Amino acid sequence: MDRVGQIPDRHLSDEQRMMRETCQRYVDAVLRPFIADNREREWTFTDPAHRLPPGILEEADKAGIRTLGVPEEYGGISLDPATEAQTFSIIATEISRGDTGLADKLVQNWKIAILLRELAPKHLQDELFTAYMADPQYLMAHCLTEPRGASDRWLPYNVPEAAMATRAVHEDGYWRIDGRKQFISNGYDASLYIVYANTDPSVGIIDGTSSFIVPRDTPGLEVTRCNETVGGRYMNNGEIVFEDCRVPDDHLLAHNNAMRAARTYFRPGKIIVAAKNLGVGIAAFDDTATFVQERVQGGKVIIKHQAVAIRIAAMAMKLEAVSALLQRAAIAVDHDEPDAGALCDMVKVFASQEILQVCQHAVELHGGYGAMLEMGIEKYLRDASVYLHVDATSDVASFKIVKELFPATAGTYAGSE
């Protein structure tokens, strides 16, 4: 039988099959051995930037995994636009099977590369993509979330009172940015930031938000902390403060319509989030399937016990269900179908709930070993738990699903009816 939770090779294009095989080799030869041999390394607190050794990203670079989404003229790897979301989901699933933190590290780069490809002026693409290709450790971060508001804004609260606290004001050929961002993926060690700020306080977040390209060495940008998370710890989540941070006019990426312009980032982003989540579940299932067929209890391998068999079957069904919905949503994004938005939120929520249960089964089926650091099973449960909050909380995403399904009668959630 094909690997549980994965689309069979026979249903993939030649490009997708080649990309998955490349990722499998990288995951099995480089990533999983590193994770297995360094169970305690992700808990290094003294210098989070050195949790992941440089060789991991260097090998990803050699395999061509790091440079997805970068235009070919700069040496990157472009994917077929007709199946881009589907291919990204396949690749993200496979890398997350090795480690979801590293997958998130890479995914931010992929998504921002596409954003720059679509929105940045050519001379800045020349500069930024050249720098990115020259340094395997180069990371990028998308700065949207703030201390006082995050996924709740996506309902949307499209009123001035709910606008971003981070402000950008135009002065003498520059944009001056002041504010604070938190819970930013790659935020602690990124070299480049895409920063969202309010540029028109008289209107709501949809019509008054702009985005800016801000290199890390820009005066006034300060990375203040690494947010220590329970899972996905090889991606260093960060908090960034902007104080009199000035960027030139040409670093304005989208003016007063950044939330709409970032559609190329957000919808595929939901697909990739669910795909990474699925990869965690597949890894948990694979390790558990091996364990229950080798572990002897009561005179027989434990898969022969009915209670164990039932749980293994439940895990497999959940993985296949998530995989099927993920494929459906990815196709909808690639075809720009009317229900793509709802499907993206559905698969994000569904995957976060189902994969968490898969990982819970994995921990419990390992007995006491499931809680031991050296076995690596508890890591899957920790990693899966993070997805309840990634790219919007489950409740907010559910509200959005209802608004997509019943736009005439769903609640407005903010302001008068």
pLDDT digits (tens, 9 = 90+) for 21-57: 999 999 999 999 999 999 999 998 888 988 999 999 9
pLDDT band per the 50, 70, 90 thresholds, residue 400: confident
Please state, for a pLDDT cut of 70, what percent of the chain lies above it.
95
Identify the weakest region by mean pLDDT among 35-44, 195-204, 389-398.
Answer: 389-398
Q: Which two tokens stand for residue 225?
A: 């902390």
CATH architecture of the domain formed by 141-257: Beta Barrel (2.40)
Distance CA 187, CA 144 (A): 11
Least confident of 21-30, 75-84, 239-248: 75-84
Q: Contact at 8 Å (CB) between 288 and 377?
A: yes
Give the per-residue pLDDT at 273.
95
Q: If you average pLDDT over every residue of the chain, what do you get?
A: 92
pLDDT band of 154, cuts 50, 70, 90: low
Look at residue 262 in the predicted model and tell me its pLDDT: 76
In percent, how much of the chain has pLDDT > 90?
79
CB atoms under 10 Å from CB of 54, counted, come to 10
CATH 1.10.1060.10 for domain 261-405: no
Q: Which residues belong to CATH 1.10.540.10 in the chain?
A: 9-137
Answer yes or no: is pLDDT of 416 > 70. no
Residue range(s) occupied by CATH 1.20.140.10 in the chain: 261-405
Every domain of the chain with CATH number 2.40.110.10 lies at: 141-257
Confidence class for position 164, pLDDT limits 50, 70, 90: confident
Q: What angle (nearest 5°) sits at the alpha carbon of residue 280, between those of residues 366 and 291?
A: 25
Query: If you average pLDDT over residues 229-235, what whole number do you get?
Result: 95
Confidence of residue 152 (pLDDT cuts 50, 70, 90): low
State how far the Cα of 150 lies from the Cα of 252, in Å rounded to an integer. Answer: 22
CATH code of the region 9-137: 1.10.540.10
Is a pLDDT exceeding 60 seen at residue 403?
yes
